[in-house]
Amino acid sequence: RGAFVISRASHTVYRSLQDGNLGHDPDLEQLALADPLIDDPDPVQWQVIGATNRWRLFDGKPSARATAAEAITVELAPGVAIAGVAGFEISAAKVRVTMTNAGAEIYAREIAMQDETVVGDWSSYLFEPITELSEFVLTDLPPYANAILRIEALRPGGTVSIGQLVCGPLWPVGRTAIKGSGFQGVDFSYVAQDEFGDLTTVRRAATRLSSFEVWVENARLLGLDARLRTLRGGTAAVWIGDDDPRKAAMNYGFYRGYRSAYQTDAWSLLQIDVQGIV
């Protein structure tokens, strides 16, 4: 009881809930608990802890970070043409993205993961704290179906962490009314107050709720509605109002709703609300 195991099949870490827990496949128990007809969906043998360190990059949970000393390097072979790659909840000095096709380099970008806009004089250079950028997005990858995508997050002499890496095709929705987006913070922490006024604070993850206002040609509305509905049910995607990470105008999450707020003869103003995934 309390021992940790790793499933090589699902790359998941489990903790044993029983003594003498032998011969019980944790993946099979999770599969059985997913049956909608089961009477008691509580686990008996195993508790899910999360993805292994290597697979946290792709587990759909940006708040669960993969960590390593000095560098995290990932090579992906998507097998299809992709045009975009993004990373979230990153702590690194820089990120380097390269693509090769048949052994030849066809794309290379290096991104400094610090916000230096506050540095305007020697005083701010010496005394302002370093502000890290925690996310990036690139939308100009060449469309090669058999390319190898290499992503490196680097911090010489320090620790690197990444919450989520996402790559895939690009799908233009429309033109943002104002370049960027509006957003608000969503905090899942809570503060409980007892009858004496004492506080109990439980600190949990926080995320962004983004609101994108997009001009869309009316002739595209029906097709756009059909494509957005394919993302229903909490399907995650990267939503980009502006690719400058300092504007907090992109989000890795699912849409909570969308509506046509205003229509003219040729254009409609569409509002899309996206909740970030923790």
In this prediction, residue 32 carries a pLDDT of: 86
Residue 255 binned pLDDT confidence (cut-offs 50, 70, 90) = very high
Strand order in the sheet with 104-112: 66-76, 148-162, 94-101, 104-112
Residue that is written with structure tokens 């058999």 in the block: 146
In this prediction, residue 209 carries a pLDDT of: 94
Q: Where are the beta strands (DSSP E) in the chain?
A: 4-7, 12-16, 46-51, 66-76, 84-88, 94-101, 104-112, 136-138, 148-162, 164-168, 175-176, 182-187, 190-193, 199-202, 206-217, 237-240, 250-263, 267-276
The string of pLDDT tens digits covering residues 199-216 is 999 998 899 999 999 999
In this prediction, residue 207 carries a pLDDT of: 92
What span, in angstroms and rounded, lies between the C-alpha atoms of 261 and 269? Answer: 6
What span, in angstroms and rounded, lies between the C-alpha atoms of 80 and 122? Answer: 48
State how far Cα 151 lies from the chain centre: 15
Residue 74 binned pLDDT confidence (cut-offs 50, 70, 90) = very high
In this prediction, residue 102 carries a pLDDT of: 93
Selected residue with higher pLDDT from 194 and 251: 251
State how far Cα 248 lies from the chain centre: 13
Residue 106 binned pLDDT confidence (cut-offs 50, 70, 90) = very high
What span, in angstroms and rounded, lies between the C-alpha atoms of 41 and 44? Answer: 9
Average pLDDT (96-124) is 88
In this prediction, residue 8 carries a pLDDT of: 94
The string of pLDDT tens digits covering residues 209-235 is 999 999 999 989 999 999 999 999 999
Q: Is the dihedral of CA 23, 28, 33, 36 positive or negative?
A: negative
In this prediction, residue 121 carries a pLDDT of: 75
Ranking 10-24, 121-135, 175-189, 257-271 by mean pLDDT, the lowest is 121-135
Average pLDDT (98-109) is 96
In this prediction, residue 96 carries a pLDDT of: 98
Say whether pLDDT at 123 is over 80: no
In this prediction, residue 262 carries a pLDDT of: 74
What span, in angstroms and rounded, lies between the C-alpha atoms of 165 and 238? Answer: 10
What span, in angstroms and rounded, lies between the C-alpha atoms of 121 and 71? Answer: 32
Q: Evaluate whether 252 touches 277 at the Cβ level (below 8 Å).
A: yes
Percent of the chain with pLDDT over 90: 72
In this prediction, residue 162 carries a pLDDT of: 97
What span, in angstroms and rounded, lies between the C-alpha atoms of 225 and 259? Answer: 10
Q: Terminal CA-to-CA distance of the chain, rounded, Å?
A: 29
Residue 148 binned pLDDT confidence (cut-offs 50, 70, 90) = very high
Please compute, for residue 66, the number of CA atoms within 13 A of its CA located in the half-sphere on the CB side: 21
